[in-house]
Structure 1
Amino acid sequence: MDNQELRAVATKALSLLDLTNLKDDCTPEQIVSLCGKAQTAYGPTAAICIWPRFVMQARTLLGPDSPIRIATVVNFPSGAMKIEDVLAETRDAVADGADDIDLVIPYRALASGDEKAVTDMVTAVKAACGNAILKTILETGELKDVALIRKASDLAIAAGADFVKTSTGKVGVNATLEAADIMLQSIRDSRKRVGFKPAGGISTVADAGLYLRLADTIMGEDWVIPSTFRFGASGLLDDILAVLSGERSTAAASGY
């Protein structure tokens, strides 16, 4: 990838980025920093992605008219909470000002053969989202099997998901191009307007470019926009800014 192409990918990736802090020990001070980082000299990120307990703080910091969306997580990271508890989390987050709800599906239940658990969870949480968009986290690195990843994606889309997302960033294997390929084909075959979010381990503009190229190949070159594609990452922004400022890409791999 030459410098011109790298800069073009960096510019696009910035507009698609859900800048993330889901560290267990995240502090209010780090949320202040995250909100500041999301407003770059080259334009804003698409969103920040944070724990539910920080949504109200972030909404106050960003204000009601910010172009930066606030995403938060529910049933996270285990995917094993009861539906009523996940619904309470969702309603509270929306009331606090969340724009996007990133829901971990009950992937362990699916792996043991319980498809209904996924359908019931996604359907119920979608109804609780109100005007917020619902991104469903499949935890593809734990599902592993190609057919199971495809099944998880198909079920989530059929139940009303607005996005399918690869990973929590909390397990050994997170976003992979193989999982992305399966999920993008699921979206294409559904013929529904559903977005895709690779998350976890994408820390360089070059890595981001591989996912964008794959999406262009499967979905068509005009498909990738913030309403249909997001990157979930914490370290990617540093590399984006390095590339856009003319510095050398120096990003090291990060957990998310």
Structure 2
Amino acid sequence: MSDLSQKDIAKRALGLVDLTNLNDDCTEADVSALTSRTVTDHGSVAAVCIWPKFVAQAVRELSGTGVKVATVVNFPAGGTETTAVVAETKKAIEDGADEIDLVMPYRGFMEGRKGFAEEQIIRVKEVIPAPAKLKVILETGEIKDPLLIHLASEIAIGAGADFIKTSTGKVPVNATLEAAEIMLTAIEEARRDHQKDVGFKPAGGIRTVDDAAAYLALADKIMGHNWVSASTFRFGASGLLDALIGEIEGSGATAGEGY
């Protein structure tokens, strides 16, 4: 899979983590606990991903660290009316969010309302000023059909996504290597055919160094070995960081429960 050792893989993956708490019972204290873990002895994670109401707090606590603040909109069901999603996005940007993770209205998309899904992504993108980023969550475990996952990827990319993301972490099937391969292929096609650079974020259920290694190997295979960086690839995870640090330090720590 890779010539790198497990420790090397862990070092590579650490800076790609979006350290996440999207638990329904998340508190201000939980967010502080999360932000306190972002800068480690082995480097910083890429971002924290938290509920919109905690964005301003996270921005304050991470000031000067270089760690981005990501939040979610239209989350997790992907069914909110577009005007409300745009308003939610504007508020998050005003509060200082660097990245918006938007759940594509995937149920409407699956019912054939592709234009509705596309328009919502376009309208959300319009209110996200550079250098802030838009990540579009496809919810591939609910879409299931490989052709529809590919089409959803194409629509999101065409509508302005800076990243496409597998999952919310809130459904029975979240990130899978099968969905990742389809999405990365769509990203490579966009790069080849339209000179458009789009990132990839697997999220939900990624908890071990072996999990991380498998996704990194797939990205290297499809996109090339020099493609993966924090600007193009993220892991959405809560428990992965402990496993990575445990591997780097040789303590054998395992990942915690969670997203």
**TM-score under structure 1 normalisation?**
0.96
Question: Aligned pair 1:38/2:38, yes or no?
Answer: yes
1:62-101, aligned counterparts within 5 Å? 62-63=62-63, 65-101=64-100
Match of 1:220 among 218, 224, 242: 224
C-alpha distance 60-123 of structure 1, shift in aligned 2 (>3 A): same
Taking the aligned partners of 1:71 and 1:250, their CA distance within structure 2 comes to 25
Q: Tell me, what secondary structure is at the counterpart of 1:250?
A: coil
User: Contact between 2:2 and 2:217, CA under 8 Å: does it hold in 1?
Assistant: no
Say what the alpha-carbon RMSD is for the aligned residues: 1.4
| Residue 241 of structure 2: aligned partner | 237
| Residue 127 of structure 1: aligned partner | 126
Taking the aligned partners of 1:3 and 1:156, their CA distance within structure 2 comes to 34
Give ranges in structure 2 of 5+ residues lacking alignment.
Answer: none
Taking the aligned partners of 1:2 and 1:188, their CA distance within structure 2 comes to 21
User: Contact between 2:245 and 2:253, CA under 8 Å: does it hold in 1?
Assistant: no
Taking the aligned partners of 1:94 and 1:205, their CA distance within structure 2 comes to 33
1:11-22, aligned counterparts within 5 Å? 11-22=11-22
Question: What number of residue pairs does the alignment pair up?
Answer: 254
Shifted more, 139-148 versus 241-250: the winner is 241-250
Taking the aligned partners of 2:148 and 2:25, their CA distance within structure 1 comes to 33
Q: Tell me, what secondary structure is at the counterpart of 1:37?
A: coil
User: Contact between 1:204 and 1:249, CA under 8 Å: does it hold in 2?
Assistant: no
Deviations 1:17-74 (A, max 9, x none): 00000000000001111000111111110000000000001111111x3210000000
Q: Tell me, what secondary structure is at the counterpart of 2:120?
A: helix
Taking the aligned partners of 1:136 and 1:50, their CA distance within structure 2 comes to 15
Matching residue's letter, 1:243: E
After TM superposition, which residue ranges in structure 1, 4 or more long, deviate above 4 angstroms?
1-4
Percent identical: 54
Matching residue's letter, 1:160: G
Once the two structures are TM-superposed, the CA of residue 255 in structure 1 deviates from its matched residue by: 4.1
Give ranges in structure 1 of 5+ residues lacking alignment.
Answer: none
User: Contact between 1:16 and 1:230, CA under 8 Å: does it hold in 2?
Assistant: yes
Deviations 1:107-141 (A, max 9, x none): 00010011101110110000011121000000000
| Residue 47 of structure 2: aligned partner | 47
Taking the aligned partners of 1:222 and 1:4, their CA distance within structure 2 comes to 14
